A and B are shown apart, each in its own frame.
Chain A
Amino acid sequence: MIRALDATFGAVGRGYLALARTVGGIVVLFGRILRAMVPPRFDRDETWRNLYDVGVKSFPIVVVTALFVGAIMVIQSAFYVKRTGATGLLGYGVGFSVFAEIGPILIGLMFSGRVGANTTAQLGTMVVTEQVDALRTLAIDPIRYLVVPRFVTMLLMMTLLMVLGDAFAVLGAAGTADAMLGVDWRVLVQGLLEAHFLDEFFMGVVKASCFGVSISVISCFYGLNVRGGAVGVGRAVNASVVANAAAIFVLDFVIGTLYTVM
């Protein structure tokens, strides 16, 4: 009995220790990134390449996700709208649920899947093929050269993509509302404007920038800590997307609560 208790608590304890180590490592990395950013000397080539990679490659998936999110929101409320005839609710719903809640979460998840996983795979591959060690032997600091450009890029791109995503979500919602309910797009936009949509819009963008920070730090952390060859890279990508998803939900809650309290 005591042995069983011991085993259970041991496992739980070990789990928490591992979690603490990971979170600690991520925080330390975040600190090192910030320190490496003063003085702000970026490698121009590496930053440009990343801006292009991240921006261009995640553009289609963000657009498509946003269109679908807008559309699905309308489909979900179609039933009520049809029964009650309260077409004004559509715009309100899009503003509130898409701009402030579901939009940032889904776009954050997609971004972490596309860009975060990619970053972990890239850095992880560089670690197991000893390219990161090679950088160090060429007396180049991997944090400054590899991580800082990715951090800056993701922060910037996630914010921009969120703004873009909002626009496409409205488009998707308007298209679906027109096709399924015969509601004119102007009605939807009217509802949106009446519903203090700027508040929600800013909240969504703030969330998105925070997700950009967490995604970049977490995926770089898992990438730089890969061990054990090709198998290790795959495992690290897996762990990285899981951690990113968890972080997005936790951050979303924290920011949402802080926002309403303030």
Chain B
Amino acid sequence: MVNDVHVAPPAPPRWYESLFIAVGAPFTAVGRELRGDVALAFAALGAIFRGAAGRRAVVQQAYAVGNRSLFFITATLGFLGLISVYQVATQIQQILPDFSMLGAAFIQLMIREFAPTITGLMIATRVGSGIAAEIGSMVVTEQVDALRMCNADPVEYLVAPRVLGSVVMVPMLSIYAVLVATLAGMALGHAVFDIPTQTFLSLRLVKGPDIVLGLVKAVSYGFWIPIVAAHAGLSATGGSAGVGWATTRAVVATSFAVVLLDFVISGASYVIFSV
């Protein structure tokens, strides 16, 4: 029992070895992660198209993603609206006090960029970590194995409803986010900088492509957040530490996925459609 233990500490890796490991590890890790995510995405799509996600489970998940994030989105996006208008208006004031374009530019930027992306980040944080925590604790308490022994496919049973719920709710929340941020910004603009509400509420700069771009972003965040989070949860191993690490990994991976998707979609839309 005792004879299988070392007598001396194992030799630590040489410094150049650790350097290579440190530089290389993130790449292999990201590669492995991506492969797992894509495989899970296909499995979930398969389950969805087979109609395997129960209607009740989907509604439940949509409620968990959407309704239960309302307060959080209101608070964060509300503050974002306040901050942005306050900062930009202060800047403009120093140059020349012409606020006529402020509201229009603000609303356009909200629709195409900030509302979907910040909402996506917030949902990644709240819902992504929640999904990883739930599924991760089911893995380490062997509930996922028990599902499999009862012939219930974990992807059908756990992942597909969450994906459907989130794909529907994230765009809704993004639309809601535009409203909240705009109202907050408008109220602040009116109270502090005397910007008339009619001037602020201008849709002059909003074109069709802006709306499409915002929605495309929201839908793809809605799809990928639960996939990436569920993948982190399903890869949890060993005890309470495992759930913690899975949840942590989900927060990082989902937030990162949102930033990456934002970059890819914005870049692609500029290159292809020049908007």
Is the CB of A18 closer than 8 A to any CB of chain B?
no
Cβ contact within 8 Å between B76 and A246: yes
CB distance from B86 to the nearest CB of A (A): 7
Beyond A76-B266, A79-B275, A237-B247, is A245–B122 a contact (Cβ under 8 Å)? yes
Name the segment of A27-35, A42-50, A110-118 touching the other chain.
A110-118
Name the one of A106, A113, A256 contacting B87, with C-beta atoms under 8 angstroms.
Answer: A256
Contacts of A100 in B (CB 8 A): 87
CA distance A256 to B88 in the complex (A): 11
Name the one of B112, B137, B248, B263 contacting A230, with C-beta atoms under 8 angstroms.
Answer: B137
Contacts of B248 in A (CB 8 A): 113-114, 117-118, 121, 237
Question: Which positions 93-148 of chain B face chain A at CB distance < 8 Å?
Answer: 109, 112-113, 121-122, 125-126, 129-130, 132-134, 136-137, 140-141
Beyond A100-B87, A233-B243, A242-B125, is A75–B251 a contact (Cβ under 8 Å)? no
* CB-nearest residue of chain B to A257: B86
Name the segment of B4-12, B37-45, B156-164, B234-242 touching the other chain.
B234-242
Cβ contact within 8 Å between A241 and B125: yes
Is the CB of A193 closer than 8 A to any CB of chain B?
no
Cβ contact within 8 Å between A71 and B263: yes
CA distance A64 to B140 in the complex (A): 32
Cβ contact within 8 Å between B240 and A124: yes
Contacts of B121 in A (CB 8 A): 106, 109, 245
Name the segment of B165-173, B194-202, B218-226, B252-260 touching the other chain.
B252-260
Cβ contact within 8 Å between B133 and A238: yes
Cβ contact within 8 Å between A231 and B252: no
CA distance A75 to B275 in the complex (A): 9
CB distance from A248 to the nearest CB of B (A): 8
CB distance from A110 to the nearest CB of B (A): 6
Cβ contact within 8 Å between B259 and A253: no
Contacts of B91 in A (CB 8 A): 96
Cβ contact within 8 Å between A245 and B125: yes
* CB-nearest residue of chain A to B91: A96
CB distance from B20 to the nearest CB of A (A): 15
Cβ contact within 8 Å between B240 and A249: no
Contacts of B141 in A (CB 8 A): 230-231
Q: How large is the interface on B (under 10, 10 to 19, 20 to 34, 35 or more residues)?
A: 35 or more
Cβ contact within 8 Å between B83 and A252: yes
Is the CB of B245 closer than 8 A to any CB of chain A?
yes
Cβ contact within 8 Å between A120 and B260: no
Contacts of A71 in B (CB 8 A): 263, 267
CA distance A256 to B244 in the complex (A): 34
CA distance A64 to B26 in the complex (A): 12
CA distance A235 to B240 in the complex (A): 11
Is the CB of B84 closer than 8 A to any CB of chain A?
yes
Contacts of A246 in B (CB 8 A): 72, 75-76
Cβ contact within 8 Å between B241 and A121: yes
Cβ contact within 8 Å between A233 and B240: yes
Cβ contact within 8 Å between B129 and A238: yes
Is the CB of B82 closer than 8 A to any CB of chain A?
yes
Is the CB of B90 closer than 8 A to any CB of chain A?
yes
CA distance A122 to B126 in the complex (A): 19
Beyond A233-B240, A234-B137, A252-B79, is A61–B22 a contact (Cβ under 8 Å)? no
Is the CB of A72 closer than 8 A to any CB of chain B?
yes
Cβ contact within 8 Å between B244 and A75: no
CA distance A144 to B213 in the complex (A): 50
Cβ contact within 8 Å between B79 and A250: yes
Is the CB of B246 closer than 8 A to any CB of chain A?
yes
Cβ contact within 8 Å between B134 and A234: yes
Cβ contact within 8 Å between B256 and A245: no
Beyond A76-B113, A237-B247, is A230–B242 a contact (Cβ under 8 Å)? yes
Is the CB of A60 closer than 8 A to any CB of chain B?
yes
Is the CB of A153 closer than 8 A to any CB of chain B?
no
Contacts of B126 in A (CB 8 A): 238, 241-242, 245
17 A-B pairs with CB atoms under 8 Å apart are: A64-B259, A68-B260, A75-B267, A75-B270, A76-B109, A101-B84, A110-B256, A113-B252, A117-B251, A121-B245, A125-B241, A129-B241, A180-B270, A232-B240, A234-B132, A237-B129, A241-B129
Question: Which 7 A-B pairs have CB atoms at the shortest separation, nearest pair first?
Answer: A234-B133, A121-B244, A113-B251, A237-B247, A230-B240, A249-B79, A117-B248
**Other than the known A124-B244, A180-B270, what 15 A-B pairs have Cβ atoms closer than 8 Å?**
A56-B22, A68-B260, A110-B252, A113-B125, A113-B251, A125-B239, A230-B137, A234-B136, A234-B137, A234-B243, A234-B246, A234-B247, A253-B86, A256-B87, A257-B86
Seen from chain A, the residues whose Cβ lies within 8 Å of a Cβ on chain B are: 56, 60-61, 64-65, 68-69, 71-72, 75-76, 78-79, 96, 100-101, 106, 109-110, 113-114, 117-118, 120-122, 124-125, 128-129, 180, 229-235, 237-238, 241-242, 245-246, 249-250, 252-253, 256-257, 260
